[in-house]
Amino acid sequence: MNPDHALTERGPLAVVRFLGLVLLGALIGGVAALAAVGFVTAVLWLNEILLISPRSRMMFDHPAALIAATLAVPTLGGLLVGLLHRAIPEKRPHTPADVIAAVQTRRGRLPARAGGLSALTAMISLGAGASVGQYGPLVHMGATLGSLGSRLLRLGRSEDNITIACGVAAAISAAFNAPLAGIVFAHEVVLRHYALRAFAPVAAAAIVGYVVATTVLDQGALFHVAETVVPRAWEFMLFVVIGGLGALVAGAYMHAILGVGRLATKLPLPATLRPALAGALLGLTALWVPDILGMGQETLRFATIAGAFGGGELLLILLLKLAATALCLGMGFSGGVFSPALVIGTLFGALCGTLVGQVAGAPPETFVFYAVCGMVAVTAPVIGAPLTTLLIVFELTGSYALTTAALASVTLASPIAAQLFGRSLFDIQLDRRGLDLSAGRGRAVLQATSVASQVTQDCVTLPPETPVSEAIGALGRARHAEAYLVDARGRYRGCVLLHDLEAAQQADGGRRPAADVIDAKRPVLRPGSSLWEAMARLEEVSGEALAVVDDHRDNAFMGVVYEAGIARAHRVQSDTLRREEHGNG
Amino acid sequence: MATVRRRILALALVLLLCAPAPATTADDALVVLSWGGAYERAQREALFEPFTARTGIPVEVQRYDGGLEALRRAVADGEVPWDLIDMTRSDAMAACEEGLLAPLPPDLAAPAPDGTPPARDFLPDAIGRCALTHTVFATVVAYRPEAFPGRRPTAIADLFDQQRFPGPRALQRTPAVNLEWALRSYGVPREELYRLLSTPRGLRLALGRLAELEAIHWWEAGDTPARLLVEGRVVMASGYNGRFFDAMLRDDAPIEILWDGQVQEHEAWAVPRGAARPEAARDLIRFATTTERLAELARRIPYGPARDSAALQVTTHPDTGLDMRLHIPTHPLNAAGAIVKDEDWYAHTQSRLDDYFEAWLATDGCRISLNEPCPSP
């Protein structure tokens, strides 16, 4: 059965199929949540035995050995990560950006091997104290499990997208104890559309993820604020300003990561050894400022307490944490961008709160509002998910006042960052890999679909030396207006048009070779050209088709792609997307 | 540090003096180190006297104020004067790691009356390698209600709020519990306390909060805080919940308990390495941790039994008829804001924390201390 047809199917069978998908979503949610729980537990265990967590460091009473561990653990962890990444085809860890690309281009099918290895290296990175986040790897792991489930059941691309979203929702739901945030994140960041058909399986996955996390993993909330105070009216204005400034911090953070990544490729050091170098530098700095090690949950908590840091201290740790995260991620450690952004944002908000306290005498009771506003102002632009970030604040704190303050902050943060830098770090990374998501999913799908399926040999091909008059005759018999000149070795030599041939015949009787009247402006396509590129090329000419030429095989002529074929493919893709996004099950 | 040593020496001296000479000890008496006061009285009635009645082995109790110094010395000298010690689990864990305790057989505890095996009946982690948890006690804050007309403290942060609740405080002279409460007063969630106290910043914040108090009476013996409250020398005091209960019950003390922030800790039986009568000591442990005996103990002093079957059997106080279930720390109404002491953490950090705390007491702490004058420059 054509899986796309199932999108518009109605009747009892369709209901059964839909319920099956919801059940599959719940199943994937359970598996992804258990995997997330296992991942988090393993990281905590590694942090304990490798003397990364403050608790284990405090309990270990040998200062010299502690210094040695601070230097050796991130370095050796980096080395191991670098070696493992060689086993991934792209030689880099897969991240949520790969999940977004797979769903937005409907390529689907996340590779299980790369996914598993990326999760393993993220676990080692986090366990060894690298300044990276855990939520990115959890999202990717959930997505990979979702895709695997779909593949095992041989479901179509649309179902694959939904099961990927299910895995993502369950991972976020389990990691944050926040099912609503999980559902919204899967829609806002991964699917980027709200279809009733996807909503139910994704919601089922998020709920199962939440139940698993609360029963199996007895973890406290990421942050817990039992706040009863309400900020004064004028403070909301400040929260908006913090949002605007937070967008700039988010931009600096994103570009620092990308910048170090670019710089790393220029280093005279094999890619395998780069994470080890980053680990050594991180360990060295951590001897001086231990707050930059690991995910930084303790730093995050302290930043919400008025007076825990001095103003200068906040700025220093903010800059060092930003640099440490850029160093770790840019040099090839595996991990997410969200947790460090939470820490950096909270430090930024605390800095703003401290300054406001000193200048305007704001009461210390509302200090936590500034910290949380800074947190959402930096994180929402980085992951491109303002609604998810707000929901995380709401579900974790249960405080409506705090969520409203966060809303004020995110109002400016996300749009300003999007205008200045792009929708999210993931989108910027994908753009640099040639996938532009700024114009939406339709274009991304066309960009990701090759013209190969539209290539046909059903066209007029002539040797280049064919006289013009004979070429006219051949075109007339075939009822075509264009012919493609291909030499004896199968190489493409150009395209000739009927009206040019007739003009040439009138001028000199048609004895010249057809190669003399080649349409020099007619572009060609490559076998790997996308439908998007083909459409753009066709805008440049008025003709019926474009030749497909393989320049890797001495300009071999592969066939032609008709304008009508491209238009048809475009319509089919658009229809599928529309049905997927608006179908109700 | 010097103060700690002085205190330890004094304690050792007291123990030495208190310890009856062999001639005065009944030849076959089992020597138990326990905490004195109301607690020891309850243990005598519920555990020791019935044990003697059943086995014929008399039990002699000596006074203990916690810590491991005396035990370390006794084991090192090869002359251990006690057969059984009733100690906090964090001390027991540290002592076990140092080899000061004899390992206990895993099947030492008796099954519940309905046959439930001990592993399922006891609290998680109650059955340790060298110690068996028998009760859960709590360090709580008690206060004089009449000191704060029109309001009463409801959260542990109120301990540090001398504007709304003015008056001197009595706190135990130890980092434990005080650090947790101080950090909790900043709104730090219970689950994160020990992670944050593991950082210099967390310790600094906690001690900073303590330093904001205006007058602290530091206590050491368990019966002091109730006495200070009754005498009106302080208006809020930390202390063991059983002692406060006993003061309220027996002395009609005008005090009330603030359950928020109670720090729950396991109290365990342990046999010191080199004890003269380890077999009889183990018999007493098995007897004292039966469902029936634990329930009887909890009827006399409100410490939570470490096994579910016993918690269900706790009824009324034998003299007053008070429903004791409402007064034990693990009762759901009391346990809502409980902090569970991270005994593993303390087992590894206690001595360094003590040094850090004493150093602070000698400088910043002395300015707020009622019983520790600042050293003259």
pLDDT for residue B360: 94
| CA separation for the pair B117, B131 (Å, rounded) | 18
pLDDT for residue A176: 87
Residues A143 and A244 in one domain: no
A95, A138 Cβ separation under 8 angstroms: no
Which residue in A242, A184, A189 sits closest to A377, CA to CA?
A: A242
DSSP symbols for A160-175: HHHHHHHHHHHHHHHH
Q: How far is A58 from chain B (nearest CA, A)?
A: 5
Instruction: Tell me the CATH number at A469.
Output: 3.10.580.10
| Set of chain A residues whose Cβ sits within 8 Å of the Cβ of B189 | 220-221, 224
- The winner for highest mean pLDDT among A302-306, A447-451, B160-164 is B160-164
3-class SS of residue B275: coil
Residues A70 and A131 in one domain: yes
Residues A335 and A407 in one domain: yes
Which residue in A373, A350, A353 sits closest to A363, CA to CA?
A: A353
- Count of structural domains, chain A: 3
Instruction: Tell me the CATH number at B101.
Output: 3.40.190.10
| Set of chain A residues whose Cβ sits within 8 Å of the Cβ of B345 | 55, 58-59
- Is B80 domain-assigned? yes
- Is A3 domain-assigned? no
Find which of A55, A61, A223 to mutate to test the B interface (most B CBs within 10 Å of its CB): A55
- Is A224 domain-assigned? no
Do residue A220 and residue B194 have CB atoms under 8 angstroms apart? no
- Checking if the pLDDT of B22 tops 80, the result is no
Q: How many residues does chain A have?
A: 585
- Checking if the pLDDT of A108 tops 70, the result is no
Mean pLDDT confidence for A375-390: 94
Residues B153 and B127 in one domain: no
A–B: how many Cβ contacts below 8 A? 64
Residues A178 and A326 in one domain: no
| CA separation for the pair A489, A492 (Å, rounded) | 9
Mean pLDDT confidence for B210-214: 93
- Is A227 domain-assigned? no
Percentage of residues in chain A having pLDDT higher than 70:
95
Residues A203 and A292 in one domain: no
Residues A423 and A501 in one domain: no
pLDDT level of residue A115 (50, 70, 90 thresholds): very high
Q: What is the mean pLDDT of chain B?
A: 89
Residues B36 and B159 in one domain: no
The tokens of A174 are what? Answer: 């389990």
Of B187, B192, B197, the CB nearest to A220: B192
pLDDT in tens, A471-507: 899 889 888 888 898 988 889 988 888 888 888 888 8
pLDDT for residue A150: 87
B110, B293 Cβ separation under 8 angstroms: no
Residue B162 belongs to what domain range?
A: 137-265+330-368
- Is B148 domain-assigned? yes
| Set of chain B residues whose Cβ sits within 8 Å of the Cβ of A297 | 192, 195
- Checking if the pLDDT of A164 tops 60, the result is yes
pLDDT in tens, A566-581: 888 888 888 877 777 7
Q: What is the mean pLDDT of chain A?
A: 88
- Is B17 domain-assigned? no
- Is B5 domain-assigned? no
pLDDT for residue A87: 93
- Checking if the pLDDT of B16 tops 50, the result is no
Count of CB atoms situated within 10 Å of the CB of A237? 11
pLDDT in tens, A184-202: 999 999 988 888 788 999 9
- Is A138 domain-assigned? yes
Residues A275 and A135 in one domain: no
pLDDT for residue B377: 62
- Is B21 domain-assigned? no
Residues B225 and B301 in one domain: no
- Is A222 domain-assigned? no
pLDDT for residue B359: 93
Residues B131 and B155 in one domain: no
Q: Amino acid identity of B216?
A: I
Smallest CA–CA distance from A397 into chain B, residue: B189
Residues B249 and B179 in one domain: yes
Of the given ranges (A310-314, A453-457, B90-94, B130-134), which has the lowest mean pLDDT?
Answer: A453-457
Taking the mean position of all CA atoms in its chain, how far away is CA A504?
54
Residues A194 and A248 in one domain: no
pLDDT in tens, B325-360: 999 998 889 988 899 999 889 989 988 999 999 999
Of A55, A307, A308, the CB nearest to B195: A55
Residue A324 belongs to what domain range?
A: 233-433
| Set of chain B residues whose Cβ sits within 8 Å of the Cβ of A303 | none
Do residue B188 and residue A305 have CB atoms under 8 angstroms apart? yes
pLDDT in tens, A515-555: 888 887 888 888 888 888 888 888 877 778 888 998 888 88
Residues B163 and B286 in one domain: no
pLDDT for residue B287: 97
Mean pLDDT confidence for A132-156: 92
- The winner for highest mean pLDDT among A356-370, B61-75, B135-149, B334-348 is B135-149
Instruction: Tell me the CATH number at A125.
Output: 1.10.3080.10
| SS3 letters across B27-69 | CCCEEEEECCHHHHHHHHHHHHHHHHHHHCCCEEEEECCCCCH
pLDDT in tens, A216-251: 766 655 566 665 678 888 889 999 999 999 999 999
DSSP H/E element including B9: helix B2-18
- Count of structural domains, chain B: 2
- Is B227 domain-assigned? yes
| Set of chain A residues whose Cβ sits within 8 Å of the Cβ of B196 | 54, 298, 301-302
Residues B78 and B110 in one domain: yes
- Checking if the pLDDT of B39 tops 80, the result is yes
Residues B247 and B306 in one domain: no
Residues B198 and B98 in one domain: no
Find which of A225, A301, A317, A396 to mutate to test the B interface (most B CBs within 10 Å of its CB): A301
Residues B147 and B273 in one domain: no
Smallest CA–CA distance from B196 into chain A, residue: A298
Of the given ranges (A265-279, A359-373, A438-452), which has the lowest mean pLDDT?
Answer: A438-452
pTM flag (> 0.90): no
| ipTM metric | 0.80
pLDDT in tens, B176-187: 999 999 999 998
Smallest CA–CA distance from B201 into chain A, residue: A308
A408, A370 Cβ separation under 8 angstroms: no
Find which of A288, A291, A305, A368 to mutate to test the B interface (most B CBs within 10 Å of its CB): A305
